[in-house]
Amino acid sequence: MKGIKNVSSHTTREHIIALFFIFPSLIGFSMFFLVPTLRGFWLSFTNWDLLSKAEFIGFKNYKALITDPDFWHSLFITFQYVLWNIPIQTVLALVLAMIMERSTSSVLVRSLFLIPWLLPNVVVALLWLWMMDPAIGIINEIIKAVGFKSVPFLFSDTLSLPSVAAINIWRHMGYTALIVFAGIQGFPKEVEEAALIDGAGPWKRFFTILIPYLKPVLAFVVITSVIGSFQIYDTIAVTTKGGPVNATYVIYLYIFKNGFESYRMGYATAVSMVLFLILIGISFLQMRLSRANESDF
Amino acid sequence: MKNSLSINQRTNMLYKMAVFIIVVFFLFLTLFPFYWVFRTSVAPQQSVFANPTALWPPHATLLNYTRVLGLIDSETAIKMGGSGQKVNFFLNIYNSFLVSIGVTFFQVLFSSMAAYVFARLHFRFRDNLFSLYVSTLMIPGIVTMLPNFILVKQLGLLNSYWGIMAPTLLMTPFAVFFLRQFFLRINKELEEAAYLDGAGYLKTFIEVILPISTTALTTLAVITFITAWNDYMWPLIVGKKESIRTLTVALAIFRLQTPQGQPDWSGMMAGTTLAMIPTFGIFILFGRKIVDSIGFSGFR
């Protein structure tokens, strides 16, 4: 009898402690993660402008955005940006990871590549705004010294988007390389040796052995960086502000403008929901395509 | 035979040199911009334009720093090429520190408590609740940011430190998830020994779990601090007021002011350098830990 009573009081105490421990996080989670998501979903069916009372308007916001050329433009620009950003970043990160693996066992040297990723986007943006300045930026000074004309990187409607992509590639390359590097570390040496004995050359070993082995890591890296790069905002807000002539007007800028400048909260949340759906779709698709959970080993 | 060996050795050396050159190239690409920012930050305004390629500016000075820190009166500042508008990064740095340290302390504390429950204690719906926490990891920031802005506005917290800190003060799903995974791997025998000694859950948590987890807690604290320090969009929308502006917001506003037709490059780079100092400090202290944690949490 005594034993049973002990157990039950023991579990009651456990429950009380559990509740007490989890309480602050539960408040934070409900107030700023769970409820806002549901509220955002509800708001996307209203025409709320922060001032008058919110009115339920059904799918009107969604219908409106489908016919808004600005929405499609910003979506198009965002896709384009992702296409500039991800392939180059992933290839460079892979190269850097291979080079890290071959050249140095020094953690210090490897960690130096992480610095750009640790810095604020705003700082990175200002740094490159200065380096890329058409008048006296060092990059253009070098270009001019070699005998070419100054390049208006961030101020050109054709070059601004790839320039922003370059800035973000610079910020994320080292971080991505370190993740890939961690993946390479787990590569079984026997497999490499077996391939060597079979007479496979370095390129063949790279493409038929290492890349398939790294598939889960690469899939992880690509999915997370695609999702991140769909949400590009800071760099563009600081450098081009969406310009010139809307050449860098990405989806986050579109949402920001509608929500925080025109206070069309209902409409802005509808766009954010569409973005959410797109991101879910993309991660699902990429998981399927790359069978991310299975390495070929 | 001897000959072929030396050819092998030679290709080997060439290969090693090529690898070395590529590493140096990547390192240069990574680090040179920082040097260039610093170089510009100590250049007098005239020499920014007169010697745009000089590796070290003539008449280097720290006046740009005193200027953007608001230590020089505005007349002198205009003469030096400043905007004349009052810049006081000193205040912005203070704001950024206050917000980042507040968020880091409370988020790590409350998240570790929640993570302990999810890892060790039992109650009904515990695992459902944890799945709910984790499922919000996927949600893009803007989805919650719009309603959070409304909430913070309705609570009357716009333009306050609390407003800036609120969404991440009590927890983030990532923080809870990260610590729970770590706590799960702690050997249970250690806690059982504490229980046998008559320690309750609270005591076990404080005296056994937390001390063992210093590595994970430090890593999380570093990540949280950096995220808060770097944040731009949220403090921009809830903290526009000058007196509580964080450094990133102030820097972005500073960039928009173009006095005398040209941006105030040396002042801007002085501000940029100031914004990088905490990051470099953290890097020097915890760089190795962060690199290790990438192998751990980044993928595996």
pLDDT in tens, B130-165: 999 999 988 999 999 999 999 999 999 999 999 999
Q: Quick one: tokens of A187?
A: 């590569």
- As separate numbers, helices (DSSP H) first and strands (DSSP E) second, chain B gives 16, 0
Same domain, yes or no: A29 and A84: no
Same domain, yes or no: B48 and B100: no
Same domain, yes or no: A67 and A38: no
The average pLDDT across A154-176 equals 95
* Block residue for tokens 């192998």: B295
How many angstroms separate the CA atoms of B3 and A32, rounded? 72
For residue A104, tell me if it sits in a domain: yes
The band of B71, judged by pLDDT with boundaries at 50, 70 and 90, is confident
Same domain, yes or no: A64 and A36: no
Mutation for B interface: A126, A144, A254, most B CBs within 10 A: A126
What 3-state class would DSSP assign to A46? strand
Mutation for B interface: A37, A74, A119, most B CBs within 10 A: A119
Residue B263 has pLDDT above 60, yes or no: yes
The band of A285, judged by pLDDT with boundaries at 50, 70 and 90, is confident
Same domain, yes or no: B101 and B12: no
Specify the range with the lowest mean pLDDT, choosing from A271-275, B19-23, B49-53, B110-114.
B49-53
Residue type (1 letter), A242: G
Specify the range with the lowest mean pLDDT, choosing from A31-40, A103-112, B122-131.
A103-112
pLDDT at B299: 42
How many angstroms separate the CA atoms of B192 and B184, rounded? 14
Same domain, yes or no: A165 and A258: yes
CB-CB neighbours of B44 under 10 Å? 18
| pLDDT (tens digit per residue) in B283-295 | 999 988 888 887 6
pLDDT at A190: 82
The band of A199, judged by pLDDT with boundaries at 50, 70 and 90, is confident
Same domain, yes or no: B30 and B116: no
Same domain, yes or no: A39 and A155: no
Same domain, yes or no: B17 and B120: no
**Number of domain units in chain B:** 2
Specify the CATH number for the domain of residue A142: 1.10.3720.10
Residue A111 has pLDDT above 70, yes or no: yes
For residue A53, tell me if it sits in a domain: no
Average predicted confidence (pLDDT) for chain B: 88
For residue B263, tell me if it sits in a domain: no
Residue A6 has pLDDT above 60, yes or no: no
The band of A9, judged by pLDDT with boundaries at 50, 70 and 90, is low
| pLDDT (tens digit per residue) in A18-31 | 889 999 999 999 99
Cβ contacts of B59 within 8 Å, gap of 6 or more = B44, B47
CB-CB neighbours of B260 under 10 Å? 12
The candidate with the shortest Cα–Cα distance to B86, out of B246, B232, B249, B257, is B257
For residue B125, tell me if it sits in a domain: yes
B207-215's contacts with Cβ under 8 Å and 24+ in sequence apart are B209/B116, B209/B183, B210/B112, B212/B186, B213/B112, B213/B179, B213/B182, B213/B183, B213/B186, B215/B289
Same domain, yes or no: B44 and B98: no
Percent of chain A having pLDDT more than 90?
A: 64
Residue B1 has pLDDT above 50, yes or no: no
Cβ contact, residue pair A37, B143, below 8 Å: yes
pLDDT at B298: 46
For residue A55, tell me if it sits in a domain: no
For residue A51, tell me if it sits in a domain: no
Which one has a higher pLDDT value, A135 or B9?
A: A135
pLDDT at A296: 55
| pLDDT (tens digit per residue) in A60-97 | 999 999 999 999 999 999 999 999 999 999 999 999 99
HSE-up (13 A, CA, CB side) for residue B2: 0
CA dihedral B29, A176, A119, A224 (to 10 degrees): 140
pLDDT at B155: 94
Q: Which of B13, B43, B61 is the last residue of a domain?
A: B61
**Number of domain units in chain A:** 2
Specify the range with the lowest mean pLDDT, choosing from A141-145, A169-173, A239-243, B260-264.
B260-264
How many angstroms separate the CA atoms of B287 and B59, rounded? 34
From chain A, the residues in CB contact with B209 under 8 A are none
From chain A, the residues in CB contact with B176 under 8 A are 25
Same domain, yes or no: B210 and B135: yes
From chain A, the residues in CB contact with B191 under 8 A are none
Residue A8 has pLDDT above 80, yes or no: no
For residue B128, tell me if it sits in a domain: yes
For residue B287, tell me if it sits in a domain: no
For residue A22, tell me if it sits in a domain: yes
Same domain, yes or no: A88 and A16: no
How many angstroms separate the CA atoms of A271 and A255, rounded? 7
Same domain, yes or no: A228 and A253: yes
Same domain, yes or no: A115 and A239: yes
Which one has a higher pLDDT value, B214 or B73?
A: B214
| pLDDT (tens digit per residue) in B93-109 | 999 999 999 999 999 99
For residue B267, tell me if it sits in a domain: no
Same domain, yes or no: A29 and A68: no
Residue A293 has pLDDT above 70, yes or no: no
How many angstroms separate the CA atoms of A129 and B32, rounded? 15
Same domain, yes or no: B122 and B177: yes
Same domain, yes or no: A154 and A34: no
Compute the 3-state secondary structure of chain A and give helix, strand, coil in percent, each to the nearest 5. 75, 0, 25
CB-nearest partner of A122 from B122, B202, B248: B248
| pLDDT (tens digit per residue) in A123-142 | 999 999 999 999 889 999 99
From chain A, the residues in CB contact with B52 under 8 A are 136-138, 141
Average predicted confidence (pLDDT) for chain A: 89
pTM of the model as a whole: 0.90
Same domain, yes or no: A35 and A98: no
**Is the N-terminal amide bond of B167 cis, ω within 30° of 0?**
no
pLDDT at B221: 95
Same domain, yes or no: A177 and A108: yes
For residue A205, tell me if it sits in a domain: yes
How many angstroms separate the CA atoms of A109 and A131, rounded? 24
Mutation for A interface: B20, B55, B89, B142, most A CBs within 10 A: B142
Residue A2 has pLDDT above 50, yes or no: no
Same domain, yes or no: B126 and B175: yes
For residue A296, tell me if it sits in a domain: no
CB pairs under 8 A between A and B: 267
Cβ contact, residue pair B136, A107, below 8 Å: no
For residue A180, tell me if it sits in a domain: yes
Beta bridge partners of A46: A56
Q: What range defines the domain where residue A18 resides? A: 1-43
Phi, psi of A46 (to 5 degrees): -125, 175
ipTM of the predicted structure?
A: 0.89
Residue B129 has pLDDT above 50, yes or no: yes
Same domain, yes or no: B51 and B147: no
For residue B82, tell me if it sits in a domain: no
Same domain, yes or no: B107 and B49: no
| Chain A nearest-CA residue for B38 | A127
CA dihedral A256, B248, A236, B34 (to 10 degrees): -170
Same domain, yes or no: B116 and B153: yes
Q: What range defines the domain where residue B199 resides? A: 89-256
Specify the range with the lowest mean pLDDT, choosing from A10-19, B115-124, B207-216.
A10-19
The average pLDDT across B172-191 equals 91
Same domain, yes or no: B39 and B113: no
